[in-house]
């Protein structure tokens, strides 16, 4: 039984790593600009496809492809902010929602049109392998995802705490008007934030490409859980997104075994609702007074 | 054009003088009127003749409904490919009652979409018959719309029993039904696998894991029922949603149950996830039977030699053409050849069932119907009695008739069990269709490359 519990805990943490990976980019964008990006899953899908094509054309391993994907998706993020989000910043929330939902549908169907519904696979020698530790098994590709998200979250955390850009982003997320009064170029902050956010999404897609098959609607599987993790951990909070992902992963793994696999989603949503009832801003969220 | 005709058309009665005898200005006017008349005359003549010319080659439109987008798009796309090859083969033979067949496609992503698309195909495209139906939940939803509108719904692929368990008059389900998949798997495990492994059926521990829509649930329920009738022990029955990104909890439960055999009913991406995580967590069993994904070329392309000795319950997709009647065998061989050439892959269950179902509809029902309207098509379908091994679907076609509750179910259909051997899928059960003997036990993961 102890060995089973250990296996469940390992699975939960590795799953949490996947959830944290898909949430890091979203929490940056959601936390700073309060824009609900419903096309988040589709950007993950595009990143996975990009990794796949780099693997086919150049034989690049997905982890090496991060060197190309990261700057590429930073650029995509800047364009996304400039041409899509910026015009909508002052629009009603419903318009913002519809715009990103529309973008999500367009991206899904463009992927279907150009690349068909065929399943793509990034084949690596380690895709299905696992490491045996005291009769428990750790999947190599998921372990790599966990390692990458830890490094990524750490890097973003360092950037937020130790650089001017990070301070500017934090100030803007707390109060954009006050930040503007302090001389921060809000427009530039938004561009950098979205660029960073989608760069993280790009890394997530690259790292997940050996784990999951790639098809036009693969992103749909991640978007809801990403929102749950972001809200649970506190919007804009990196540590919150990381730990929130771990929490959801562990709850799902344990409830799936000890209660019923069919109810595991129900259980983590119940936990989610309970935490929000006790602390509406999320586990690590801070309550910010509305500016008058 | 003579001057006399010009005169008549202009409304004035000119003296019947040929052109050349008029004043030059009158001659120009006459020529202009002549040209205009010629244009109008020939235009009217062409418009009158055109429908008559088109009437002989007017295409016959039928509705085709598969999931072309969304999570099942991959299998929906393969279904459409199979149907298109059947259409092309029939059109090369002269079409249906002299008319080329044309598809009007409906995208049935979900049950709600399936209903809307069926409604659109019937009311806007005015098709007398809709073929298709992948994913039993989608087909079930669309069947109500078709029944309400008295349009034949020719379900080529979906296997859910409820599709033809309501006494509907216009719904025809070609494929073997889910309850048979479950029953055949239990028969295979009790009659072939357990003896091969040297295990008494009463000692055989069977674990079931299945996606939770109509497809997976019915197969698992019927497998469990039949397994218990045969004396097997069912130690687990686990349901999950096919859109999940993780099956580790489910697989740990399977491992804890220490099964001798596992039946996994999944679609494609969940089947991929299941097999990957089964390997990663080193879950071993003596016999593994899967569905859908385990019968696709993509399974072999992704896992290579790791697919060997895995079994799949499926329609008879890989039965050797030599086992069929010469005509049916030739058609099946031609289908496989065309699919291979066009798509560089072997057709799996979706392509095979869609081809077989479409071919039977076009060749044996529409070509023989008294008229190409829904009532006549329905009568022709009910009159169908094609014996076993006489169709490219392998099994025959004969439908249960009203007023039976299972009216429209194909009582001639049955599934088979196939096994990967040297990365080739071969039928192993029932024995009359087997191309090889089953090889068991499934080696442990550490012994496999």
Per domain, the residue ranges of chain B are 3-55, 61-176+322-382, 179-314+416-447
Asked if residues A33 and A236 have their Cβ atoms less than 8 Å apart, the reply is: no
Chain B interface test: which of A6, A11, A104 (most B C-beta within 10 Å): A11
Measured CA to CA, the distance from residue B82 to residue B255 in angstroms comes to 38
Domain-by-domain residue ranges, chain A?
2-278
- Closest Cα of chain B to A171: distance in Å? 36
Please state, as a whole number, how many other Cβ atoms lie within 10 Å of the Cβ of residue A162: 10
Indicate if the pLDDT at residue A59 is higher than 80: yes
Best mean pLDDT range from A150-159, A279-288, B24-33, B380-389:
B380-389
* Residue B428: strand, helix, or coil: strand
Q: How far is CA B258 from CA A95, B233, B234, B271, in A?
A: 54, 12, 11, 20
Contact A230, A21 (CB under 8 A): no
For B390-427, the pLDDT digits (tens) are 999 999 999 999 899 999 999 999 999 999 999 999 99
Report ipTM for this prediction.
Answer: 0.80
Cβ-Cβ contacts under 8 Å for A15 (sequence gap 6 or more): A142, A249, A252, A253, B246, B248
CB within 8 Å: B73 and A217: yes
Instruction: Out of 3.10.20, 1.10.10, 1.10.3470, 1.10.30, select the CATH number for domain A2-278.
Output: 1.10.3470
Nearest to A264 among B71, B249, B306 (CB): B249
- Encode burial over B68-95: b for 16+ CB neighbours within 10 A, e otherwise: bbbbbbbbbbbbbbbbbbbbebbbeeeb
> DSSP letter at B243?
T
> Strands A136-139, B101-107: parallel, antiparallel or unpaired by DSSP?
unpaired
Q: Is the pLDDT of residue B4 over 80?
A: no
Angle (deg, nearest 10), helices A264-278 and A220-233: 30
Looking at chain A, which runs of residues are DSSP E strands? 130-133, 136-139
Q: Rounded CA gap, B207 and A236, in Å?
A: 44
A152 to each of A70, A209, B436, how far by Cα in Å? 11, 17, 52
Separation CA A146–CA A141 (nearest Å): 9
Phi, psi dihedral angles at B205 (to 5 degrees): -95, 115
Task: Please give the helix or strand (H or E) that residue B261 lies within, else none.
Answer: strand B261-265
Most trustworthy range by pLDDT among A25-34, A109-118, B84-93, B340-349: B84-93
At A197-218, the pLDDT tens digits run: 999 999 999 999 988 888 888 8
**What does the pLDDT read at residue A291?**
36
Report the b/e string of A55-92 with b at 16+ CB within 10 A: beeeebbbbebbebbbebbbebbbebbeebbeebeeee
The residues with which B264 forms a beta bridge, in sequence order, are B209
Q: What's the CA gap between B132 and A138, in Å, rounded?
A: 42
CB < 8 Å & 24+ apart, contacts of A104-111 = A104/A38, A104/A39, A104/A41, A104/A42, A107/A39, A107/A42, A107/A43, A107/A45, A107/A46, A108/A42, A108/A45, A108/A216, A108/A217, A108/A219, A108/A220, A108/B69, A109/A216, A109/B69, A111/A42, A111/A45, A111/A46, A111/A49, A111/A216
Rg (CA), chain A: 19
Confidence class of residue A55 from pLDDT cuts 50, 70 and 90?
A: very high
Q: Tell me: pLDDT of A290 over 50.
A: no
Min Cα distance A31 → chain B (Å) is 25
Look at B77 and A116 and tell me if their CB atoms are within 8 Å: yes
d(CA A109, CA A243): 34
Binding-site residues on chain B for chain A (CB distance < 8 A)? 68-71, 73-74, 76-77, 212, 238-241, 243-246, 248-250, 252-253, 256, 268-269, 272-273, 276-277, 279-282, 298, 301-303, 306
The secondary structure element, H or E, covering residue A280 is none
Q: Using one digit for the tens of pLDDT, what is the confidence trace for A19-30?
A: 998 898 888 888
B179-314+416-447: CATH superfamily: Response regulator (3.40.50.2300)
| Helix orientation angle between B73-92 and B349-360, rounded to the nearest 10 degrees | 40
Q: Do residues A205 and A51 make contact, with C-beta atoms less than 8 angstroms apart?
A: yes
Residue B310 with chain A: CB contacts under 8 Å: none
Taking the CB of residue B265, how many other CB atoms lie within 10 A of it?
30
Whole-number average pLDDT of chain B: 88
pLDDT digit string (tens) for B337-371?
999 999 988 898 899 999 999 999 999 999 999 99
Q: Identify the CA nearest to A34 among candidates A172, A188, A155, A149.
A: A172
Question: In CATH terms, are B61-176+322-382 and B179-314+416-447 the same topology?
Answer: yes
Distance from CA of B71 to the nearest CA of A (A): 6
What does the pLDDT look like over B120-146, one tens digit per residue? 999 999 999 999 988 888 999 999 999
- In this prediction, residue B69 has a pLDDT band, given cuts at 50, 70 and 90, of confident
- Exposure of B343 by Cβ count < 10 A (0-12 exposed, 13-18 middle, 19+ buried)? middle
Tell whether the model's pLDDT for residue B54 goes beyond 50.
no
User: H helices of B56-153, where?
Assistant: 73-92, 111-123, 136-148
CA distance B442 to A62: 32
Name which of B17-26, B93-102, B342-351 the model is least confident about.
B17-26
Question: What CATH number is given for B61-176+322-382 in this structure?
Answer: 3.40.50.2300
Of B193, B217, B218, nearest to B205 by C-alpha is: B193
DSSP state of B362: I
Helices B326-343 and B349-360: crossing angle in degrees, nearest 10, is 130
> What is the dihedral angle through the alpha carbons of A150, A152, A153, A155, rounded to the nearest 10 degrees?
120
């Amino acid at each position: 039984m102890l060995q089973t519990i250990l296996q469940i805990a390992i699975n939960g943490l590795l799953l949490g790593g996947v959830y944290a990976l898909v949430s890091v980019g979203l929490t940056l964008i959601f936390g700073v600009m309060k824009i609900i990006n419903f096309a988040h899953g589709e950007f993950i899908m595009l990143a996975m496809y990009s990794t796949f094509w780099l693997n086919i054309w150049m034989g690049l391993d997905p982890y090496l492809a991060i060197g190309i994907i990261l700057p590429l998706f930073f650029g995509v993020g800047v364009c996304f902010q400039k041409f899509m989000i910026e015009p909508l910043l002052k629009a009603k929330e419903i318009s913002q929602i519809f715009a990103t939902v529309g973008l999500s549908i367009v991206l899904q169907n463009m992927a279907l049109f150009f690349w068909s519904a065929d399943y793509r696979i990034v084949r690596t020698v380690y895709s299905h392998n696992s490491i045996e530790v005291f009769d428990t098994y750790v999947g190599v590709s998921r372990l790599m995802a966990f390692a990458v998200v830890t490094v990524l979250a750490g890097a973003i955390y360092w950037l937020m705490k130790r650089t001017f850009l990070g301070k500017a982003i934090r100030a803007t997320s707390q109060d954009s008007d006050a930040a503007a009064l302090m001389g921060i170029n809000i427009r530039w902050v938004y561009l950098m934030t979205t660029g960073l956010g989608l760069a993280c999404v790009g890394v997530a897609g690259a790292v997940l490409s050996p784990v999951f098959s790639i098809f036009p609607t693969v992103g749909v599987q991640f978007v809801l859980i990403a929102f749950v993790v972001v809200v649970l951990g506190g919007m804009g909070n990196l540590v919150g997104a990381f730990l929130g992902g771990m929490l959801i992963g562990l709850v799902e793994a344990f409830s799936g075994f000890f209660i019923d696999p069919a109810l595991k989603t129900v259980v983590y949503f119940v936990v989610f609702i309970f935490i929000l009832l006790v602390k509406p801003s999320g586990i690590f969220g801070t309550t910010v007074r509305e500016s008058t | 054009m003579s001057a006399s005709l010009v005169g008549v058309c202009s409304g004035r009665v000119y003296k019947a003088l040929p052109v050349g005898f008029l004043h030059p200005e009158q001659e120009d006017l006459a020529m202009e009127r002549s040209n205009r008349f010629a244009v109008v005359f020939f235009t009217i003549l062409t418009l009158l003749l055109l429908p008559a010319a088109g009437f002989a080659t007017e295409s016959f439109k039928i509705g085709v409904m598969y999931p072309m987008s969304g999570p099942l798009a991959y299998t929906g796309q393969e279904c459409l490919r199979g149907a298109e090859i059947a259409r092309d083969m029939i059109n090369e033979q002269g079409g249906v009652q002299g008319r080329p067949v044309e598809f009007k496609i409906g995208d049935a992503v979900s049950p709600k979409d399936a209903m809307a698309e069926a409604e659109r195909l019937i009311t806007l495209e005015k098709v007398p018959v809709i073929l298709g139906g992948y994913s039993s939940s989608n087909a079930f939803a669309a069947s109500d719309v078709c029944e309400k509108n008295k349009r034949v719904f020719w379900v080529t692929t979906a296997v859910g029993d409820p599709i033809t368990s309501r006494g509907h008059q216009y719904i025809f389900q070609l494929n073997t039904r889910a309850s048979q998949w479950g029953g055949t798997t239990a028969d295979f495990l009790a009659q072939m696998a357990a003896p091969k492994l040297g295990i008494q059926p009463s000692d055989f521990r069977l674990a079931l894991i299945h996606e939770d829509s109509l497809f997976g649930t019915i197969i698992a329920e019927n497998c469990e029922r039949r397994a218990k009738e045969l004396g097997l022990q069912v130690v687990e029955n686990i349901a999950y949603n096919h859109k999940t990104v993780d099956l580790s909890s489910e697989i740990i439960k399977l491992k804890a149950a220490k099964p001798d055999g596992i039946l996994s009913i999944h679609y494609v991406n969940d089947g991929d996830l299941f097999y990957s995580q089964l390997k990663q967590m080193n879950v071993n069993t003596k016999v593994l039977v899967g569905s859908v994904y385990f019968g696709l070329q993509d399974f072999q392309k992704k896992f290579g030699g790791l697919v060997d000795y895995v079994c799949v319950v499926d329609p008879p997709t890989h039965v050797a053409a030599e086992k069929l009647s010469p005509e049916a065998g030739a058609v099946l061989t031609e289908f496989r050849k065309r699919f291979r050439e066009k798509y560089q892959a072997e057709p799996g269950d979706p392509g095979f069932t869609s081809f077989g179902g479409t071919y039977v509809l076009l060749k044996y029902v529409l070509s023989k119907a008294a008229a190409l309207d829904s009532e006549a098509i329905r009568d022709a379908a009910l009159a169908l009695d094609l014996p076993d091994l006489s169709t490219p679907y392998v099994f025959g076609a004969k439908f249960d008739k009203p007023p039976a509750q299972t009216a429209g179910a194909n009582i001639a259909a049955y599934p088979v069990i196939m096994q990967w051997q040297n990365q080739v899928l071969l039928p192993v059960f029932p024995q009359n269709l087997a191309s090889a003997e089953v090889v068991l036990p499934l080696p442990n993961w550490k012994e496999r490359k």
